[in-house]
Chains A and B, each alone.
Chain A
Amino acid sequence: MSTRLQTGGRLIDRNQRLSFTFNGTPMTGFAGDTLAAALLGNDQMLMGRSFKYHRPRGVVAAGPEEPNALVGLGQGPRFEPNQRATTTELFDGLSAISQNHWPSLNFDIGAVNNHLSKFFPAGFYYKTFMYPRAAWKHLFEPIVRHSAGLGKVTQPGDPDRYEHFYAFYDVVVIGGGVAGLQAALAAGHAGAKVLVMEQSAHWGGRAPVDGVEIDGKPAEDWVSATLQALEDMENVTLRSRLMGAGVYDHGYLLAYERVSDHRPGTAGPRHRLWRIRAGRIITATGAIERPLSFAGNDLPGVMLASAVRDYVVNWAISPGDRTVIVTNNDDAYRTALALQMAGLIVAAVIDARPTATGALPQAVRDAGIRVETGRGIAKVKGRARVEGVALCAQAGEGAVLEEIPCDVVAMSGGWSPVVHLWSHCGGKLTWDAAQAHFRPDPDRAPADQDGAPFVIAAGAANGHLQAADTLRDAAAAGQNAAVALGRDPADGTAARANAVAEEPLLPVWIMPQGAGPDLRSKMWLDYQNDVKVSDVQLAAREGYESVEHTKRYTTLGMATDQGKLSNINGLAVLSDALGSDIPQVGTTTFRPPYTPISMAAIAGEARGDTFLPLRRTPMQDWHDANGADFEPVGHWQRPYTFRRGGEDRAAAVKREITNTRTNVGLLDASTLGKLVVKGPDAGKFLDMMYTNMMSTLKPGRCRYGLMCDENGFLIDDGVVARLDDDTFLCHTTTGGADRIHAHMEDWLQCEWWDWQVYVANLTEQYAQIAVVGPKARALLENLGGMDVSAEALPFMGWADGTLAGHPVRIYRISFSGELSYEIAVPAGQGRALWDTLLAVGTQFGIMPYGTEALHVMRAEKGFIMIGDETDGTIIPQDLGLDWAISKKKDDYLGKRGQARSHMTDPDRWKLVGLETLDGGVLPDGAYAVAPGSNANGQRKTQGRVTSTYYSPTLGRGIAMGLVHKGPDRMGEELEFARTDGTMMRARIVDPVFYDKDGEKQNV
């Protein structure tokens, strides 16, 4: 059984006892525990079930590489699945549940899959669910869906806050082990601005556990002294619980800070995503120990040798009473010594190498521990927990020589540098045959914008596994990073570690070497996704040669741990099966993030009220308080209509239109774009921007204009007012303001940079209020301040003046066909003017109206709307707007495009009005059908509806549409298809339904 030792534990505080629950069972641990350590301390070795076969699984590792010990953490809206017990800091009140089991962790029905495992080989899904076709939908999918997925989904309503933080450093060191600290020291001494981050809550990495001595002192002392030295340096920032998640181009680095995971519910954000720009990034990310592939290597109690000593030394955990260590290298012997020092029994060290004569094996032998060389494990005995191991010759086929009872197997297949961050942005790897691992190739580092390497691997992450080499390499990395950034080389000497000579490892990818199918099908490579040696070998036999294809076929390395333990072992098995060398097979691609980070951290502050900017006009508060029913227009929320009492939308719209056409209406038009264009060449510029002639416009007058892109397509429209000889005010559509401003600047800056024109976007400087209807003039005259008579301010004129004490500019323009004044007033006075107009307008029956009334009234007048009648493929000629295209100008944007053959094709669909025969309303977007069908068997079409409304003015449905040769077919009837399969008939008519001569607006 696993239990807590009476003494020791360098990371725990025995004075602080913490309570937590696992699957509802109350347990206790100590401050400084990880959840995994605390569970082991409560003899909870079984922590979950595997994904595919539902096999019992215990913890394997002690860090972020852990594949098995995933739990659902927290409760209610704070519940989160797939949290690693090995990286979860214990806190009082923690609640965890195991995953992937039903009905209970100890008795799981899904484990029947385990007995059927020979029927679930690699590619099972691809092979099984293909035929018969109908079976997928009705049989396979419902079953797969029920059993798929790891963990439960979270509840909505995450109560925590998340944020981003932008930071800039010369040198960022990722990893707070001795290499990271040494590198930071060197870079810091050279004067660089340095950030050092450590993913866990503790500094120093493995060195204190491994008994390393630095500068004649225990590593722990050196770590403390170095941390103090770094803290004293003003140019160095130390940050724990901050993980390097991803490296991107130009020294961009994402780091993930777990601010309050260990104290949930406290003030402040839960996670913080650091978005860092770094001059140089040093990856001192250490190395990860590899498992060995022997039969039964996934039983709870089989752990990495390094993890076993981590649990003993860091948390005073005895993973079991009797441990067998199985290894192919000297390092695992440290575990034997650590266990013995803690008073635990090491039954034997099984070394696959023919001989083991190094200092560490010798020390183990001297301690009286049995060492067997040339041996391997044939299989692990036990069902839900290790009970013993069967020994065999590593060189043989697995004939059992002896059985050794034990409850823990500590395995070590060598160490692989953590090359993820090095690789994210294109850093290449080289195969180090002596250490049997891939390490960063310094000649093929990720390059920055200057072509210089911007990532430097240091220490174990660079393949230097011995402490002395690690420190030397790290000091050089720190120094080189600073010097590359122009700092003066300073004290770059490395601290000196005691050198313990280690003998070379023996690459062991399968144990024993000649294992047959029975054993190979019980050797796990990927614990989380249940991928075995036999699966990878099967993939190779079936013709998968690329490691990337094999990964996807077998799901090797596709789980939440992304193959941190399985990757190298898997590709070694693959290369062996293919008969090629490991470097030729290569690795799969390392992609960010290094370990999963929360989605909420990526979203940061963009949630709730701050999810998206909602633009508000100066009158928005009034709209909010007066029944406005909003619709989004760009980022604005514009009132669609203002509902009164129990009115529905349609009734409200109808009332607003009727009132505007008979009395006076009020529209908040503040969102319209307002661009001022000024300069000696402003007229010439606008003649290019618009299809019509703007340079001939007289000061004091307005003109409607169309804007096209280079291809001739209509992109915006609006009224241009000439303010003086040099200055124009261009109105754009609401959604077009920013886009057209950028469009103008683009042409001015990139093409016509020598033209003397300046543009400024004054959209938000003014609140704009349209006062519309037959009584509009009477209302304004009542306000007083300026002459708004037809003589002083005629249709399509503008004038500056004062209204009710406000400085205004009034444009006599109309989008409704009524007598209309659009009043621009400084935004800070917009609400006051709005209120005054409403108050004074009461006697004239004033009512505000929304965008839908605006739309209906413009459609009654046959005015087009950008986005309804246009969709990026429409030229003005399609809309019968030839009158707005100057024939006198040499050029304008779109002129050449509109001369292309397809644009002048007489078969283009053109704008007409549509009048339903029964007075009903055509569906928006409906197609007019034509006889026959096309090559795809679809009904042919001859037109479509672009705008369609019920017109209260006419008491019937009206519409506009684009119809094949439409203007030549006045009076013809068309059939429009409805989605229910029925047809609606409509007659082609003139698009101007109301006041064809424009008498009402021009009074």
Chain B
Amino acid sequence: MSETVTALGGAHYAGYATITEQPARGMITLRGNLAEVAVKNAATGVAGVDMPDLRECHIVDQRGIAWMSPDELLVMVPHPEVASAVSTIQQTLSGLHSLVVDVSDARALFRIEGSGAREVLAKLCPVDLSPAAFGPGQIRRTRLGHVSAAFWMVDDSAFELVCFRSVAQYAFDLLKTAAEPGGEVGVF
């Protein structure tokens, strides 16, 4: 199989938070009735994490499940496994109304890390990013400047953020600007 190139080739910026484009990750959009046991099993079966509830994202390293809407999940697996994971889920759900598609290449994935990470996102996303309101295990689908994005925390000081691939440069530039030293707000 041919090599997959990410939108920005791993772009990195170290400001008062670090911004790094991540290597390709297997991402699968799964639409279906999330109350169905089969749907839950299909997702948890390939991701190996618990089923998330409303506005939750469960992730361990490369594998995870993000709640995206009342009938949509984002299932994450290591990139080389994505094709087999798609077909595994499809087989598990055969006969059940659902949609399973590989969206790995449609996305850009960033890691925003460091003590300033919350602030950097709070400059660009209309989301309450205080530790009391948002922490690991949660997800927000929101806007980042002018574009759609979703993010979750992988630990107490690191976020992963996805946006569409075509706006990866814009998203990176936004995050980079927000993370410039001297811009510390100091409220979190």
Contact = CB atoms under 8 A, between A and B. Distances in A.
Given A268-B180, A605-B123, A829-B5, A615 B187 contact: no
A831 B99 contact: no
A166 B103 contact: no
Given A758-B98, A827-B106, A609 B173 contact: yes
A805 interface: yes
A164 B185 CA distance: 11
B105 A765 contact: yes
Interface stretch (B48-56, B57-65, B159-167): B159-167
B87 interface: no
Given A165-B123, A765-B105, A613 B180 contact: no
Given A764-B164, A765-B106, A828-B4, A268 B173 contact: no
B99 A758 contact: yes
Contacts of B31: 758, 760
A831 B4 CA distance: 10
Interface string A817-847: 0000000001111011000000000000000
Contacts of A613: 145-147, 167, 170-171
A828 B105 contact: yes
Contacts of A237: 187
A636 B170 CA distance: 12
B168 to A, nearest CB: 8
Given A268-B180, A828-B24, A605 B174 contact: yes
Interface string B18-32: 000000100001011
B37 to A, nearest CB: 19
B102 A605 contact: no
B35 interface: no
Contacts of B158: none
A166 B119 CA distance: 9
A267 interface: yes
B2 to A, nearest CB: 5
A63 B123 CA distance: 30
A778 interface: no
Interface stretch (A305-313, A549-557, A673-681): A673-681
Given A165-B123, A760-B31, A832-B5, A766 B173 contact: no
A637 to B, nearest CB: 10
Interface in A610-643: 610, 612-618, 635-636
A829 B2 contact: yes
Q: Is the interface of B mostly helix, strand, loop or mixed?
A: loop
Interface in A222-274: 237, 266-269, 272
B38 interface: no
Interface of A is mostly: mixed
Given A616-B166, A760-B103, A166 B127 contact: yes
Q: Taking each of B6, B107, B127, B182, which has the highest tally of chain A beta carbons within 10 Å of its own beta carbon?
A: B182
Given A266-B182, A678-B99, A760 B177 contact: no
A762 B178 CA distance: 30
Contacts of B119: 165
Given A166-B127, A613-B147, A272 B185 contact: yes
A16 interface: no
B127 A610 contact: no
Interface residues of B, number: 56
A617 B166 contact: yes
A167 B166 contact: no
B97 A680 contact: yes
A259 to B, nearest CB: 8
Contacts of B99: 676, 678-679, 758-760
A295 B125 CA distance: 54
Contact of B167 (A269, A615, A678): A615
B91 interface: no
A874 B151 CA distance: 42
A40 to B, nearest CB: 33
B150 interface: no
Contacts of B106: 762-765, 827
Given A614-B170, A615-B166, A762-B103, A166 B187 contact: no
Contacts of B125: 166
B155 interface: no
Given A766-B105, A827-B105, A163 B174 contact: no
Interface in A284-323: none
B36 interface: no
Q: Which of B125, B128, B178 has the most CB of A within 10 A?
A: B178
B10 interface: no
A164 B183 CA distance: 11
Interface in B127-165: 127-130, 132-133, 145-147, 164-165
A164 B123 contact: yes
A614 B53 CA distance: 34
Contacts of B147: 613
A807 B128 CA distance: 42
A734 B121 CA distance: 30
Interface string B106-131: 11000000000001001111111110
B146 A606 contact: yes
Interface in B70-100: 71, 97-99
A680 B95 CA distance: 10
B178 A605 contact: yes
A985 interface: no
Contacts of B169: 614, 616
Contacts of B167: 613-616, 635
Contacts of A267: 180-183
A635 B173 CA distance: 16
A609 B2 CA distance: 32
Nearest to B170: A613
B17 to A, nearest CB: 14
B105 A764 contact: yes
A166 B127 CA distance: 7
A575 B124 CA distance: 48
A168 B128 CA distance: 6
A921 to B, nearest CB: 34
Contact of A831 (B5, B102, B107, B132): B5
B103 A605 contact: no
B185 A165 contact: yes
Nearest to B133: A168
Contacts of B130: 168, 193
Contacts of B174: 605, 610
B105 A826 contact: yes
A956 interface: no
Interface in A940-969: none
A275 interface: yes
A496 interface: no
B179 to A, nearest CB: 11
Given A680-B97, A760-B103, A268 B182 contact: yes
A614 B107 CA distance: 15
A873 interface: no
A756 interface: yes
A765 B145 contact: no
A613 to B, nearest CB: 4
Nearest to A615: B166
Contacts of A679: 97, 99
A812 to B, nearest CB: 23
A641 B150 CA distance: 35
A807 B1 contact: yes
Given A165-B123, A268-B181, 7 more contacts: A166-B123, A267-B180, A268-B180, A636-B166, A764-B105, A828-B5, A828-B24
26 contacts: A163-B178, A165-B122, A165-B185, A167-B187, A168-B128, A267-B183, A269-B182, A606-B146, A609-B170, A609-B173, A613-B171, A615-B166, A616-B167, A616-B169, A618-B5, A618-B7, A635-B167, A679-B97, A759-B99, A760-B99, A765-B105, A827-B165, A828-B3, A828-B5, A829-B4, A832-B2
Interface of A: 161, 163-168, 193, 237, 266-269, 272, 275, 277, 605-606, 609-610, 612-618, 635-636, 676, 678-680, 756, 758-760, 762-766, 805-807, 826-829, 831-832
